[in-house]
């Protein structure tokens, strides 16, 4: 393999990987405060992209993206308030089924609003054929946008959880909800906030990736499966691990193409998911003791 | 006479069932029920969507003008979401419960192949809107299809390549029935034109990024052109990934590229893509007096007036042709299913959007290679490809 080819595969892998990681982080944020997997996470990404595309017809791209992210966050909050908040000590299974229902609902609504056609935001810089040369490999500037924006988001989130009191309160909820309540933290609001946050980062990812991958109403479930694989691979609830696992999966997928037929690409993610569930259900970087204490 | 005895039987049977039900079936006895199984949603919705809209538009117009020989059409559209299992159950439902006269669709080749035997056994006329040649080869008595054959598309592409002096190519295909059938044809016909397929890859129909596989193909310096065979948005993604990687070999697409939305989605990267297609996309630049001109322009204007948010595509045209053929046959043969089937088989010189149809017992597609033109993308629009 020539060095250029290696770099080309590597960047393709990082692009997939960082998107998976963002979806996985969305899973983690909600998992940490509620203990559930929100299977509508992929729909947040879809909504972000689709709303931004619609907004772009009346305003410039940066504004359209901001508007899309804000609207998606509001949708996230509404979903939590309508479907989750009023449930009295719901079982994990029930909440998961609810999120699957929300995902289907969101897709159908999107189908009615935008129809079945595939859309895309224009490239932020240049157009479809622009490329920059990195170590002999040609990369679309949009790939750098995806990597840059997503890395910033990950960094911002870890700062938020570490150093702001709101972030600490959310982490307190994650660690022990009852103890957090006793300390005067409004855990219900924290759950709403977690939906808002993960809707927001999903929407940002949906916007930056739209020029490369296109957006359509049905893109959610595929992303959710990859994101879920990554979240499990890294260990549920651990966002730094999710980034590592995301990049790992993306790069494995990209390099697999050089030896395996392309058709097997998606089978790899599913195989990894099954393998990890059998062999290390607490994930590559999770601890089995902590996992055994969790309900799910 | 036969119709009267039919409705007598209907009435008797229905009275044995439910009174209300029987009233409905008597009242609708004069209407012709046409079923349609189309992928209105899901991964192939850009086929099924325009097809469904086209059929609704046409049926509305036919009924407003008094129907076929005075019989109005009842159109029943079932959304299969491109799922073969759903297509199978809808087929059974349309045949057994709705008792339709004929079925239009499905939109995709995979679905059509799954229901081919079912309709054949039920002696149900099927006018498929899917492209793969296997649908009508071998010929099934009741199965017809309106899109051009993929083998003709392949021959057209290889002919163009030969003129350009291209002999070594790479083939990419989506993992759909259409993609697989096309890949098979590309590999089978290549030797006839002295063309060598150096690499062939299949990608998932939901693929959102093909830059890795582009890198793999690009590493083979012998490849002079790429042929992509799919009906999915990956057609635009491939073009973008190739051009971004700085790979400028000619990109050929299948007749599945005939939707201006793919060009819009591909943007600057779609420029110069070469593909075979029916004449609908260049209707306005056809010479006056061309047998298809009047019909194409009318369909184009009707469709875009009724659905201003949508642009006409060859896919909606396949449904247009299917209903046109059915209507022509019913006008000739009345409402006896067997006679209508025979009439379709003997239709000749029927101008449709895909070409001029000349059916025969051996050819249930009725189109020849001349129904294709080679088109290219120029300044974001479809244009005739000039060598």
Q: At A216, is the secondary structure helix, strand, or coil?
A: coil
The Cα–Cα gap between A280 and B260 comes to 48
What is the domain extent for residue B49? Answer: 31-148+296-364
Q: How many structural domains are present in chain B? A: 2
pLDDT at B17: 45
Helix ranges (DSSP H) in A235-285: 239-259, 265-279
Q: Which residues of B have a CB under 8 Å from any CB of A? A: 40-43, 45-46, 48-49, 175, 201-204, 206-209, 211-213, 215-216, 218-219, 233, 236-237, 239-240, 243-246, 261, 265-270, 309
- Smallest Cα distance from A107 to chain B, Å: 11
Does residue B313 sit in the same domain as residue B239?
no
Residue B20 pLDDT class (50, 70, 90 cuts): very low
Class of domain A3-158+187-293: mainly alpha
* CB-CB under 8 Å, A115 with B201: no
Does residue B208 sit in the same domain as residue B300?
no
The Cα–Cα gap between A281 and B313 comes to 49
Residue B267 inside a domain? The answer is yes
Flag residues of chain A having pLDDT under 70: 287-296
**Is 50 exceeded by the pLDDT of residue B25?**
no
Domain ranges of chain A: 3-158+187-293
Residue B379 inside a domain? The answer is no
How distant, in Å, are the alpha carbons of A78, A228, B152, B154, B310 from that of B133?
Answer: 50, 40, 9, 11, 29
User: Higher model confidence: residue B144 or residue A4?
Assistant: B144
Residue A5: its chain B contacts at CB < 8 A?
A: 215-216, 218-219
Residue B44 pLDDT class (50, 70, 90 cuts): confident
Does residue B220 sit in the same domain as residue B302?
no
Residue A16: its chain B contacts at CB < 8 A?
A: 209
Does residue B236 sit in the same domain as residue B332?
no
pLDDT at B173: 93
Strand ranges, E, within B175-299: 196-203, 225-229, 251-253, 274-277
pLDDT at B13: 46
Mutation pick from A56, A138, A217, A261 vs chain B, by most beta carbons of B within 10 Å, is A138
Residue B24 pLDDT class (50, 70, 90 cuts): very low
* CB-CB under 8 Å, B239 with A11: no
pLDDT at B5: 56
**Is 80 exceeded by the pLDDT of residue B26?**
no
The Cα–Cα gap between A256 and A74 comes to 39
- Smallest Cα distance from B290 to chain A, Å: 32
Question: Does the CB of A54 have a partner CB in chain B at under 8 Å?
Answer: no
pLDDT in tens, A236-284: 888 888 999 999 999 998 888 888 877 787 788 888 888 888 888 888 8
Q: At B356, is the secondary structure helix, strand, or coil?
A: strand
Does residue B204 sit in the same domain as residue B159?
yes
Residue B286 inside a domain? The answer is no
Q: What CATH number does residue B269 fall under?
A: 3.40.50.2300
Does residue B125 sit in the same domain as residue B229?
no
Residue B208: its chain A contacts at CB < 8 A?
A: 212-214, 219, 222
Residue of B nearest to A251 (CA): B212
State mean pLDDT over B146-173. 93
Nearest to B213 among A130, A214, A257 (CB): A257
User: Higher model confidence: residue B4 or residue B223?
Assistant: B223
CB neighbours of residue A91 within 10 Å? 12
The Cα–Cα gap between B205 and B228 comes to 12
State mean pLDDT over B320-341. 93
**Is 70 exceeded by the pLDDT of residue B81?**
yes
pLDDT at B29: 45
Residue of A nearest to B211 (CA): A12
Q: Which two tokens stand for residue A137?
A: 């490999």
Q: At A75, is the secondary structure helix, strand, or coil?
A: helix
* CB-CB under 8 Å, B267 with A122: yes
State mean pLDDT over B215-223. 90
DSSP code of residue B381: E
Percentage of chain B beyond pLDDT 90 is 61
Nearest to B209 among A16, A115, A261 (CB): A16
pLDDT at B252: 96
- The mean pLDDT of chain A is 87
Residues of chain A numbered 122-151 and touching chain B (CB < 8 Å): 122-123, 127-131, 137-140
**Is 70 exceeded by the pLDDT of residue B92?**
yes
Residue B246: its chain A contacts at CB < 8 A?
A: 131, 138
Nearest to B269 among A13, A128, A138 (CB): A128
Q: For B251, phi and psi rounded to 5 degrees?
A: -110, 120
The Cα–Cα gap between B279 and B295 comes to 11
- Smallest Cα distance from B191 to chain A, Å: 23
Question: Does the CB of A120 have a partner CB in chain B at under 8 Å?
Answer: yes
Q: Which two tokens stand for residue A81?
A: 């308030």
Residue B205 inside a domain? The answer is yes
Does residue B36 sit in the same domain as residue B144?
yes
pLDDT in tens, B271-307: 999 999 989 988 888 888 888 999 999 999 999 999 9
């Amino acid at each position: 393999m020539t060095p250029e080819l290696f770099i080309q595969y590597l960047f393709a892998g990082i692009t997939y990987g960082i998107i998976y990681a963002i979806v996985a982080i969305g899973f983690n944020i909600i998992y940490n405060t509620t203990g559930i997997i929100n299977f509508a996470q992929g729909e947040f990404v879809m909504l972000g992209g689709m709303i931004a595309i619609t907004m772009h017809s009346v305003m410039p791209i940066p504004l359209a993206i901001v508007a899309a992210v804000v609207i998606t966050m509001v949708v996230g909050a509404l979903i939590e308030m309508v479907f989750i908040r009023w449930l009295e000590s719901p079982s994990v299974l029930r909440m998961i089924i609810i999120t699957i229902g929300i995902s289907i609902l969101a897709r159908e609504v999107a189908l009615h609003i935008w129809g079945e056609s595939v859309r895309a935001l224009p490239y932020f810089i240049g157009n479809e054929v622009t490329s920059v040369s990195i170590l002999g490999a040609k990369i679309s500037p949009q790939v750098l946008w995806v990597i840059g924006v997503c890395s910033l988001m990950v960094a911002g989130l870890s700062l938020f959880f570490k150093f702001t009191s709101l972030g600490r309160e959310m982490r307190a909820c994650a660690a022990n909800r009852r103890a957090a309540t006793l300390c005067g933290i409004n855990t219900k609001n924290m759950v709403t906030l977690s939906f808002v946050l993960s809707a927001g980062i999903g929407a940002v990812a949906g916007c930056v990736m739209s020029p490369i991958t296109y957006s359509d109403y049905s893109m959610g479930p595929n992303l959710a499966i990859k994101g879920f694989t990554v979240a499990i691979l890294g260990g549920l609830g651990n966002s730094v691990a999710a980034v590592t696992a995301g990049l790992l999966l993306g790069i494995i997928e990209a390099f697999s193409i050089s030896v395996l037929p392309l058709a097997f690409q998606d089978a790899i993610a599913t195989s990894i998911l099954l393998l990890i569930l059998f062999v290390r259900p607490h994930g590559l970087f999770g601890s089995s003791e902590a996992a055994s204490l969790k309900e799910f | 006479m036969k119709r009267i005895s039919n409705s007598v039987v209907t009435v008797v049977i229905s009275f044995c069932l439910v009174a209300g039900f029987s009233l409905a079936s008597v009242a609708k006895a004069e209407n012709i029920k046409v079923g349609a199984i189309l992928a209105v949603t899901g991964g192939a919705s850009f086929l099924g969507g325009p097809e469904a809209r086209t059929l609704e538009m046409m049926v509305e117009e036919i009924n407003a003008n008094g129907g076929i020989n005075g019989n109005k059409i009842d159109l029943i559209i079932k959304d299969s979401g491109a799922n073969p299992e759903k297509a199978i159950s809808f087929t059974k439902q349309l045949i057994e419960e709705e008792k339709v006269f004929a079925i239009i669709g499905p939109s995709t080749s995979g679905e059509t192949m799954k229901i081919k035997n079912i309709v054949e056994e039920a002696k149900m006329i099927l006018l498929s809107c899917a492209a793969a040649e296997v649908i009508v080869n071998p010929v099934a008595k009741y199965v017809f299809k309106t899109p051009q054959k993929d083998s003709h598309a392949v021959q057209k592409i290889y002919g163009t390549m030969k003129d350009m002096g291209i002999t070594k190519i790479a083939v990419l295909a989506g993992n759909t029935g259409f993609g697989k059938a096309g890949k098979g044809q590309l590999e089978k016909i290549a030797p006839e034109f002295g063309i060598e397929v150096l690499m062939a890859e299949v990608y998932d129909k939901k693929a959102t990024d093909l830059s890795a596989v582009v890198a793999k193909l690009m590493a083979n310096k012998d490849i002079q052109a790429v042929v992509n065979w799919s009906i999915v948005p990956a057609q635009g993604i491939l073009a973008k990934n190739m051009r971004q990687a700085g790979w400028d070999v000619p990109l050929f697409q299948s007749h599945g590229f005939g939707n201006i939305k793919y060009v819009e989605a591909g943007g600057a990267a779609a420029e110069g893509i070469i593909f075979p297609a029916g004449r609908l996309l260049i209707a306005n630049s056809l010479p006056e007096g061309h047998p298809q001109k009047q019909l194409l322009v009318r369909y184009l204007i009707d469709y875009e007036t009724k659905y201003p948010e949508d642009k006409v595509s060859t896919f909606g045209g396949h449904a247009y042709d299917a209903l046109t053929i059915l209507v022509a046959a019913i006008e000739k043969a009345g409402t006896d299913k067997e006679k209508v089937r025979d009439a379709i088989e003997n239709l000749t010189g029927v101008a449709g959007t895909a070409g001029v149809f000349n059916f025969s017992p051996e050819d249930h597609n009725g189109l020849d290679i001349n129904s294709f033109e080679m088109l290219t993308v120029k300044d974001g629009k479809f244009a005739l490809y000039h060598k």
